[in-house]
Amino acid sequence: MNVTTVQISTDTRKKLGSFRDYPRETYDEIIHKMMVVFEKIRNEGELSEETLGDIREAERQYSGGKGISTKELLKKLEA
């Protein structure tokens, strides 16, 4: 597998790390997951205004420290 170096800000690196589903998940794996989600959204057509509003609200909440990881969410759902 060929690899390359990509420069990102420290904040972006920290945010990428917060998307880890397990401790040793690589940034490449995280970015790949994000691309799969993005492609799925793009291929399904445009998002409604309500959905876009929900996404913006989720981004505000996450930026404000109110987000949880997928791992934490799964633990809550199992309880």
Residue-wise pLDDT for 45-75, tens only, equals 777 888 888 888 888 887 777 777 778 888 8
What's the longest Cα–Cα distance across the chain? 42
Q: What is the residue extent of each domain of the chain?
A: 10-78
CA 68 vs CA 8, 20, 40, 48, 76: distances in Å: 23, 11, 23, 25, 10
Residue-wise pLDDT for 19-36, tens only, equals 898 889 899 999 999 998
Tokens of residue 35, six digits:
């691309």
